[in-house]
Amino acid sequence: MIFHLALAADWDAAVTAGEYRVSTLGRTLAEEGYIHASADLTQARGVANRYYAGVAEPLVLLEIDEDRLGCPVRLEVPEGSKEAFPHIYGPIPVAAVTAVTPFSR
């Protein structure tokens, strides 16, 4: 399982569309080339603290089954980081998300 932090409104739109296409806060899959994810809950909390600290909108944590994605997932070390993060190179089908949990920092 891998994790992705999402705005609740973006996830709601994905449920209607059948797939999720937001890469990270304010950027789409088309703009970024992949969807940012976290390997575990510790990484997800770090992402929340670094990039979502000022977000007032409700957040959800998506738990994603990699075997259901139908697209490549690569562990990559972003520039300026020392840890590897999973990057999802395609949209996330709603059926690949096994749990959606309200997230608070």
Output the CATH code of domain 2-103. Answer: 3.20.170.20
Nearest-angstrom CA–CA distance, 98 and 82:
29
pLDDT tens profile 11-38: 999 999 999 999 999 999 999 999 999 9
CB 34 within 8 A of CB 24: no
- Other CB atoms within a 10 A radius of the CB of residue 104 amount to 8
pLDDT of residue 71: 97
Give the pLDDT of residue 78: 86
